[in-house]
Amino acid sequence: MLSKRIIPCLDVKNGRTVKGVNFNNLMDAGDPVQLAYEYYKQGADELVLLDITATLEGRETFINVVKDVAKAISIPFTVGGGISKPEQVEALLKAGADKVSINSAALQNPNLITTLANAFGSQCVVVAIDAINNQGNWEVVSHSGTKETIWDPFEWAKKAESLGAGEILLTSYSSDGTQMGYAIDLTAKISESLKIPVIASGGAGCKEHFLEVLTLGKADAALAAGVFHFGKLSIKEVKQYLNDNGIVIRL
Protein backbone atom coordinates (compact mmCIF):
# COMPACT_ATOMS: atom_id res chain seq x y z
CA MET A 1 0.00 0.00 0.00
CA LEU A 2 1.19 3.48 -0.90
CA SER A 3 0.94 6.17 1.76
CA LYS A 4 -0.55 9.60 1.15
CA ARG A 5 2.14 12.20 1.75
CA ILE A 6 2.25 15.26 4.02
CA ILE A 7 4.73 17.84 2.77
CA PRO A 8 5.74 21.00 4.62
CA CYS A 9 7.02 23.85 2.45
CA LEU A 10 9.70 26.35 3.42
CA ASP A 11 10.07 29.69 1.67
CA VAL A 12 13.72 30.69 1.74
CA LYS A 13 15.00 34.20 1.14
CA ASN A 14 18.71 35.04 1.32
CA GLY A 15 19.34 31.79 3.18
CA ARG A 16 16.63 32.34 5.81
CA THR A 17 13.11 30.96 6.20
CA VAL A 18 10.46 33.59 5.76
CA LYS A 19 6.82 33.61 6.86
CA GLY A 20 6.47 33.52 10.59
CA VAL A 21 7.83 30.49 12.32
CA ASN A 22 6.88 29.64 15.87
CA PHE A 23 8.62 26.64 17.32
CA ASN A 24 9.50 26.87 20.98
CA ASN A 25 12.15 24.19 20.85
CA LEU A 26 14.16 25.77 18.06
CA MET A 27 17.15 27.92 18.87
CA ASP A 28 16.82 29.77 15.61
CA ALA A 29 13.51 29.39 13.83
CA GLY A 30 14.70 31.28 10.77
CA ASP A 31 17.34 28.69 9.91
CA PRO A 32 15.89 26.51 7.11
CA VAL A 33 18.28 23.65 7.87
CA GLN A 34 17.16 23.45 11.49
CA LEU A 35 13.52 23.73 10.46
CA ALA A 36 13.91 21.03 7.79
CA TYR A 37 15.44 18.74 10.40
CA GLU A 38 12.58 19.46 12.82
CA TYR A 39 9.97 18.54 10.17
CA TYR A 40 11.92 15.41 9.26
CA LYS A 41 11.87 14.33 12.90
CA GLN A 42 8.12 15.10 13.16
CA GLY A 43 7.45 12.62 10.36
CA ALA A 44 7.23 14.76 7.21
CA ASP A 45 7.13 12.49 4.15
CA GLU A 46 8.97 14.96 1.93
CA LEU A 47 9.93 18.63 2.01
CA VAL A 48 9.69 21.46 -0.47
CA LEU A 49 12.13 24.39 -0.37
CA LEU A 50 11.22 27.41 -2.44
CA ASP A 51 13.87 30.01 -3.18
CA ILE A 52 12.07 33.34 -3.24
CA THR A 53 15.25 35.38 -3.58
CA ALA A 54 15.62 37.53 -6.64
CA THR A 55 19.34 38.29 -6.52
CA LEU A 56 22.30 36.30 -7.79
CA GLU A 57 23.99 36.34 -4.37
CA GLY A 58 20.80 34.94 -2.88
CA ARG A 59 20.79 32.10 -5.40
CA GLU A 60 24.30 31.09 -4.40
CA THR A 61 23.28 31.14 -0.76
CA PHE A 62 20.35 28.89 -1.64
CA ILE A 63 22.63 26.22 -3.10
CA ASN A 64 24.43 26.10 0.25
CA VAL A 65 21.11 25.75 2.06
CA VAL A 66 20.24 22.83 -0.24
CA LYS A 67 23.58 21.17 0.53
CA ASP A 68 23.08 21.56 4.28
CA VAL A 69 19.46 20.36 4.19
CA ALA A 70 20.56 17.28 2.22
CA LYS A 71 23.07 16.49 4.96
CA ALA A 72 20.52 17.02 7.74
CA ILE A 73 17.58 14.90 6.55
CA SER A 74 17.05 11.42 5.08
CA ILE A 75 13.80 12.00 3.18
CA PRO A 76 13.28 13.33 -0.35
CA PHE A 77 13.03 17.04 -0.99
CA THR A 78 12.04 19.22 -3.91
CA VAL A 79 13.52 22.63 -4.62
CA GLY A 80 11.98 25.37 -6.69
CA GLY A 81 12.00 29.07 -7.46
CA GLY A 82 13.41 30.75 -10.55
CA ILE A 83 14.54 27.56 -12.30
CA SER A 84 14.72 27.91 -16.07
CA LYS A 85 17.90 26.13 -17.21
CA PRO A 86 19.23 22.55 -17.15
CA GLU A 87 22.50 23.82 -15.59
CA GLN A 88 20.57 25.13 -12.58
CA VAL A 89 18.87 21.75 -12.19
CA GLU A 90 22.17 19.91 -12.41
CA ALA A 91 23.67 22.12 -9.70
CA LEU A 92 20.66 21.63 -7.40
CA LEU A 93 20.62 17.85 -7.86
CA LYS A 94 24.36 17.72 -7.25
CA ALA A 95 23.79 19.71 -4.07
CA GLY A 96 21.52 16.89 -2.91
CA ALA A 97 17.99 17.84 -4.00
CA ASP A 98 15.84 14.97 -5.32
CA LYS A 99 13.42 16.89 -7.50
CA VAL A 100 13.04 20.38 -8.89
CA SER A 101 9.82 22.27 -9.44
CA ILE A 102 9.43 24.56 -12.42
CA ASN A 103 6.64 27.04 -12.97
CA SER A 104 6.87 30.32 -14.92
CA ALA A 105 9.74 29.11 -17.11
CA ALA A 106 7.69 26.06 -18.17
CA LEU A 107 4.75 28.28 -19.09
CA GLN A 108 7.03 30.43 -21.25
CA ASN A 109 8.73 27.41 -22.79
CA PRO A 110 6.78 24.16 -22.29
CA ASN A 111 9.57 22.16 -23.98
CA LEU A 112 11.71 22.85 -20.92
CA ILE A 113 9.72 20.05 -19.23
CA THR A 114 10.82 17.55 -21.89
CA THR A 115 14.40 18.80 -21.87
CA LEU A 116 14.66 18.31 -18.12
CA ALA A 117 12.82 14.96 -18.15
CA ASN A 118 15.19 13.60 -20.81
CA ALA A 119 18.27 14.87 -19.03
CA PHE A 120 17.42 13.98 -15.42
CA GLY A 121 14.41 11.65 -15.57
CA SER A 122 10.71 12.47 -15.20
CA GLN A 123 10.80 11.48 -11.53
CA CYS A 124 12.65 14.67 -10.65
CA VAL A 125 10.59 17.10 -12.72
CA VAL A 126 7.72 18.62 -10.75
CA VAL A 127 5.58 21.12 -12.64
CA ALA A 128 4.10 23.70 -10.26
CA ILE A 129 0.79 25.18 -11.37
CA ASP A 130 -0.64 28.28 -9.70
CA ALA A 131 -4.36 28.71 -10.38
CA ILE A 132 -6.84 31.45 -9.46
CA ASN A 133 -10.59 31.31 -9.52
CA ASN A 134 -11.78 34.17 -11.69
CA GLN A 135 -15.56 34.40 -11.22
CA GLY A 136 -15.99 30.65 -11.36
CA ASN A 137 -13.35 29.96 -14.02
CA TRP A 138 -9.98 28.54 -13.06
CA GLU A 139 -7.02 30.23 -14.75
CA VAL A 140 -3.29 29.60 -14.55
CA VAL A 141 -1.21 32.54 -13.36
CA SER A 142 2.58 32.90 -13.50
CA HIS A 143 5.35 34.90 -11.82
CA SER A 144 3.94 34.33 -8.32
CA GLY A 145 0.44 35.25 -9.36
CA THR A 146 1.33 38.57 -10.94
CA LYS A 147 0.81 37.59 -14.59
CA GLU A 148 -2.09 36.08 -16.49
CA THR A 149 -1.53 33.23 -18.93
CA ILE A 150 -3.48 31.67 -21.78
CA TRP A 151 -3.88 28.37 -19.93
CA ASP A 152 -6.63 26.82 -17.91
CA PRO A 153 -5.17 24.51 -15.28
CA PHE A 154 -6.90 21.36 -16.57
CA GLU A 155 -5.37 21.67 -20.04
CA TRP A 156 -2.00 22.82 -18.73
CA ALA A 157 -1.74 19.89 -16.31
CA LYS A 158 -2.49 17.41 -19.13
CA LYS A 159 0.04 19.14 -21.35
CA ALA A 160 2.70 19.07 -18.63
CA GLU A 161 2.10 15.36 -18.11
CA SER A 162 2.38 14.63 -21.82
CA LEU A 163 5.65 16.59 -22.00
CA GLY A 164 7.24 14.45 -19.29
CA ALA A 165 6.39 15.92 -15.88
CA GLY A 166 6.69 13.36 -13.08
CA GLU A 167 4.39 15.14 -10.67
CA ILE A 168 2.13 18.20 -10.43
CA LEU A 169 2.28 20.66 -7.53
CA LEU A 170 -1.10 22.39 -7.74
CA THR A 171 -1.58 25.60 -5.76
CA SER A 172 -4.86 27.42 -5.54
CA TYR A 173 -3.90 31.06 -5.26
CA SER A 174 -7.51 31.79 -4.37
CA SER A 175 -7.18 29.81 -1.14
CA ASP A 176 -3.43 30.16 -0.43
CA GLY A 177 -2.82 31.76 2.95
CA THR A 178 -6.52 31.82 3.86
CA GLN A 179 -6.42 28.66 6.01
CA MET A 180 -9.99 28.09 4.75
CA GLY A 181 -9.30 24.76 3.06
CA TYR A 182 -7.87 23.45 -0.20
CA ALA A 183 -9.55 23.95 -3.58
CA ILE A 184 -11.26 20.55 -3.55
CA ASP A 185 -13.07 20.54 -6.91
CA LEU A 186 -10.06 21.88 -8.80
CA THR A 187 -7.74 19.31 -7.24
CA ALA A 188 -10.10 16.38 -7.77
CA LYS A 189 -10.72 17.21 -11.40
CA ILE A 190 -7.01 17.52 -12.20
CA SER A 191 -5.92 14.50 -10.17
CA GLU A 192 -8.56 12.28 -11.79
CA SER A 193 -7.51 13.33 -15.28
CA LEU A 194 -3.82 12.49 -14.75
CA LYS A 195 -1.73 9.36 -14.39
CA ILE A 196 1.01 11.20 -12.45
CA PRO A 197 0.69 12.16 -8.76
CA VAL A 198 -0.78 15.51 -7.72
CA ILE A 199 0.32 17.47 -4.65
CA ALA A 200 -2.40 19.84 -3.42
CA SER A 201 -1.37 23.19 -1.99
CA GLY A 202 -2.99 26.34 -0.67
CA GLY A 203 -5.50 26.77 2.11
CA ALA A 204 -4.70 24.24 4.84
CA GLY A 205 -5.93 25.53 8.19
CA CYS A 206 -7.02 22.49 10.20
CA LYS A 207 -6.76 18.70 10.24
CA GLU A 208 -10.10 18.29 8.47
CA HIS A 209 -8.78 20.17 5.44
CA PHE A 210 -6.05 17.56 4.95
CA LEU A 211 -8.59 14.75 5.18
CA GLU A 212 -10.88 16.51 2.73
CA VAL A 213 -8.24 17.08 0.03
CA LEU A 214 -6.87 13.53 0.31
CA THR A 215 -10.37 11.99 -0.01
CA LEU A 216 -12.80 14.25 -1.89
CA GLY A 217 -9.91 16.14 -3.52
CA LYS A 218 -8.26 12.88 -4.64
CA ALA A 219 -4.81 14.36 -4.02
CA ASP A 220 -1.83 12.06 -3.63
CA ALA A 221 -0.11 14.45 -1.25
CA ALA A 222 -0.95 17.60 0.69
CA LEU A 223 1.44 20.51 1.09
CA ALA A 224 1.21 23.18 3.76
CA ALA A 225 3.34 25.95 5.14
CA GLY A 226 1.82 28.46 7.56
CA VAL A 227 -0.25 25.98 9.52
CA PHE A 228 2.91 24.06 10.41
CA HIS A 229 5.28 27.04 10.77
CA PHE A 230 3.07 28.82 13.28
CA GLY A 231 2.79 25.67 15.33
CA LYS A 232 -1.00 25.59 14.91
CA LEU A 233 -0.73 21.94 13.92
CA SER A 234 2.11 19.46 14.14
CA ILE A 235 2.78 17.03 11.30
CA LYS A 236 2.44 14.19 13.76
CA GLU A 237 -1.08 15.12 14.89
CA VAL A 238 -2.25 15.65 11.31
CA LYS A 239 -0.96 12.22 10.30
CA GLN A 240 -2.44 10.55 13.38
CA TYR A 241 -5.81 12.15 12.60
CA LEU A 242 -5.65 10.97 8.97
CA ASN A 243 -4.75 7.46 10.10
CA ASP A 244 -7.66 7.43 12.56
CA ASN A 245 -9.94 8.38 9.67
CA GLY A 246 -8.89 5.51 7.47
CA ILE A 247 -6.28 7.20 5.29
CA VAL A 248 -3.24 5.08 4.39
CA ILE A 249 -0.49 7.13 5.95
CA ARG A 250 3.04 6.48 7.23
CA LEU A 251 3.21 6.94 11.00
Active centre residues (catalytic): 11, 130
Inter-residue contact 212 to 205 (CB < 8 Å): no
42 in contact with another protein (CB under 8 A): no
Number of residues that bind another protein (CB under 8 A): 31
147 binds another protein (CB under 8 A): no
Binding region for another protein (CB under 8 A) out of 66-74, 132-140, 151-159, 205-213: 66-74
Q: Is 33 in the site for another protein (CB under 8 A)?
A: no
Decide: is 192 part of the binding site for another protein (CB under 8 A). Answer: no
The yes or no reply on residue 94 touching another protein (CB under 8 A) is yes
Q: Is 201 in the site for another protein (CB under 8 A)?
A: no
Say if CB 222 and CB 192 are below 8 A apart.
Answer: no
**Binds another protein (CB under 8 A): choice among 167, 202, 209, 225:** 167
Q: Which of 120, 151, 156, 173 binds another protein (CB under 8 A)?
A: 120
Residue burial 146-175, b: 16+ Cβ < 10 Å; e: rest: eeebebebbebbeebbebbbbbbbbbbbbb
Beta bridge partners of 223: 7, 201
What SS3 class is residue 21?
coil
Stretch that binds another protein, among 17-25, 49-57, 70-78, 177-185 (CB under 8 A): 70-78
Q: For residue 191, list its beta bridge partners.
A: none
Binding flag, residue 86, another protein (CB under 8 A): no
DSSP 185-233: HHHHHHHHH-SS-EEEES---SHHHHHHHHHTT--SEEEESHHHHTTSS
Cβ 221 to another protein, closest distance in Å?
A: 7
Judged by CB under 8 A, which stretch of 22-30, 50-58, 118-126, 145-153 contacts another protein?
Answer: 118-126
Closest by CA to 138, choosing from 180, 184, 177, is: 184
Q: For residue 59, what is the DSSP state?
A: H
Instruction: Assess 160 for contact with another protein (CB under 8 A).
Output: no
Residue 39 is a binding residue for another protein (CB under 8 A): no
Give the angle 234-239-241 at the CA atoms, nearest 5°.
100
Question: In the complex, what is the shortest distance from the CB of residue 145 to another protein, in angstroms, rounded to a whole number?
Answer: 27
For binding to another protein (CB under 8 A), which residues are involved?
1-5, 40, 45, 70-71, 74-76, 93-96, 98, 120-124, 166-167, 194-197, 220-221, 250
